Amino acid sequence: MILLIIAGLFALISGKIVITKKLRLTGKNARIYGGLLIVLSIPYAIFMGVLLGSLLPASMLENDYVKPIINLVLLLVIAIGLAIPFRDKE
């Protein structure tokens, strides 16, 4: 959640964000993307525990390394997946 907020604030303030060489956002698109990241961090924080608890077996959630890895992967999927519609056209 904190990573989404930090990336969103960075995009809002700077007006540009580069994820990969071909996936970069500037201007209005970057600011809209940053705002969406900040707004999406709230439902992500609320529903992620419920979602992980219902999808994964309890034995996986007891491990200290599984939940952070899944959270990081989901954050990357959300951040990159949301950036694709806002990318700059070349």
- Mean of the pLDDT values across residues 15-26? 88
- Mean of the pLDDT values across residues 16-35? 90
pLDDT confidence of residue 21:
86
Buried (b) or exposed (e) across 40-71, using 16+ Cβ within 10 A?
A: bbeebeeebeeebeeeeeeeeeeeeeebeebe
Judge whether residue 1 has pLDDT over 90. no
Judge whether residue 35 has pLDDT over 90. yes
pLDDT in tens, 38-80: 999 888 888 887 877 777 777 776 777 877 888 888 888 988 9
d(CA 13, CA 10): 5
pLDDT confidence of residue 10:
92
